[in-house]
Structure 1
Amino acid sequence: MELERYSIINNKNSREIVLLKAFPCEWGRCSFCDYIEDNSTKEKEMVDLNKKVLSQVTGKYKVLEVINSGSCFELPKETLRDIKQVIKEKAIDKLYFESHWMYRNRLKEMEEYFGIPIIFKCGIETFDNNFRNKILKKGIIFQNPEDVARYFKSICLMVGIYGQTKESIDKDIEYLLKYFEKGCINMYIENSTSLKRDENLIKWFCEKYAYLESNDNIEILWNNTDFGVGGEANV
């Protein structure tokens, strides 16, 4: 099926969201991710598709989230120009982008280019260093959550992968609430990768942390298409 690429989030943190195509993820080694199959090297095709998706933006909430299967720095330059034009035409005053940790020293480039506040989201997934890097293959090394918070106001966590522990998830939630302005918690959905979903762990999380649904700064994705974009890519 085709990926859904435009949606409107009407509840907390109301905004429009677009899923764009980009060049291959510079990291591209996360063991749980198969969305990188949506990446491409055919620049004209990507740019043309992205123009069509961006043409749907109305400016309804004056807030736009742009995601792609990787980092915002891997979007074609022409697409970045198109986003900037949409921001101007639709009077967008806040932008959400995703970025891998490797780009942490380049975030100001985007802020200066677009000239509006940007909330950068980083997929930390977990603060358990062993699980994050040896199992999930994230390639993200830091000393403590304060190191991450110096660069990113928002992080994404992953819950429900077989091998995770309740103790590590408790610590992840503690750090999220203590050090970050916003966060997104994703329940793991099995895909074409070999990692398995732990239903018991997700049930435990739901019972213990469902109260976070009432926190305006925390979004929980019980399914990875809950924002209205994504799906199963045609490859």
Structure 2
Amino acid sequence: MGIRYNKITDKHPREIVLLKSFPCKYGKCSFCNYIEDNSIDENEIDRINFPVLDMITGEYKVLEVINSGSVFELTPGTLKKIKEVVIEKNIQVIYFEIYYGYHNRLKEIKNYFQGVEIRFRMGLETFDNRFRIEKYNKNFSLNEKDFKALSEKIYSVCLLVCTKGQTEEMIKKDIELGLKYFKNITVNIFINNGTSVERDENLVKWFIKNYKHLQNDDRVELLIDNKDLGVFEQ
């Protein structure tokens, strides 16, 4: 049984919900087993999501919505319910997830939630194009110009670290570039999950020794365990 609602109280206090959604439009990332939470039954999705959204109190005025895909894969009913809760609880800031392929459609969400600050998080995983495409099967390639353009639309990127094939140098560079271009980064230490991507224990030891201080950096969300946000679907 999973947990779909939690409060983050330490850094960037907010309420967080894990919602069910339609299948991720991309759905080919080699490290992701998360898409098992998807459904094609719209009624079932809303039936699961509505009680979760009813738990929101609005006490921090900030809400993070995560789902196994992008905000664009939430059902119309769930989006409408989020909007009602946001108005009723006077929420000022919402975090949503998006896949890169949607980066030209972000205005649709901003227009739908007018008057609320929308912060988009995107799974970039690494700034190394070759590694992202070949190892993570995330099929897009970006250059400096793209990162600059993206940084104007996207609040935060998620970086996946300590996987086999990565080097210390790559991780160092990823964190450097993440902080250079974006207001915020989420750094996720990979945990084996039955996919073809594997965790590198030596890199984990090196990373924790050298980067644990990121926990105190206001611009960084460091997930040593992917359950650190307190929401997960078993």
- Give the secondary structure class of the aligned counterpart of 2:229: coil
| Structure-2 residue corresponding to 1:171 | 173
Q: 1:17 to 1:112 in 2, by over 3 A?
A: same
Amino acid across the alignment from 1:123 = G
Q: Following the alignment from structure 1 to structure 2, what is the Cα–Cα distance between the partners of residues 9 and 106?
A: 29
Contact 2:94 / 2:119 at 8 angstroms: preserved in 1? Answer: yes
How far residue 30 of structure 1 moved from its aligned partner, in angstroms, is 0.1
- Deviation >4 Å, runs of 4+: none
Amino acid across the alignment from 2:121 = K
Is 1:97 aligned to 2:99, yes or no?
no
Contact 1:124 / 1:140 at 8 angstroms: preserved in 2? Answer: no
How far residue 141 of structure 1 moved from its aligned partner, in angstroms, is 2.0
Is 1:201 aligned to 2:203, yes or no?
yes
RMSD: 0.9
How far residue 151 of structure 1 moved from its aligned partner, in angstroms, is 2.5
How far residue 231 of structure 1 moved from its aligned partner, in angstroms, is 3.9
Q: Following the alignment from structure 1 to structure 2, what is the Cα–Cα distance between the partners of residues 58 and 106?
A: 29
| Structure-2 residue corresponding to 1:140 | 140
Amino acid across the alignment from 2:143 = Q
In the TM superposition, 1:46-195 aligns within 5 A as 46-115=45-114, 116-144=116-144, 145-195=147-197
Amino acid across the alignment from 1:127 = F
Q: Following the alignment from structure 2 to structure 1, what is the Cα–Cα distance between the partners of residues 69 and 112?
A: 19
How far residue 139 of structure 1 moved from its aligned partner, in angstroms, is 1.9
Q: Following the alignment from structure 1 to structure 2, what is the Cα–Cα distance between the partners of residues 177 and 207?
A: 20
Contact 1:142 / 1:148 at 8 angstroms: preserved in 2? Answer: no
Count of paired positions: 231
Q: TM-score, normalised by structure 2?
A: 0.96
Structure 2 alignment gaps of length 5 or more: none
Q: Following the alignment from structure 1 to structure 2, what is the Cα–Cα distance between the partners of residues 214 and 166?
A: 21
- Give the secondary structure class of the aligned counterpart of 2:17: strand
Contact 2:14 / 2:61 at 8 angstroms: preserved in 1? Answer: yes
Structure 1 alignment gaps of length 5 or more: none
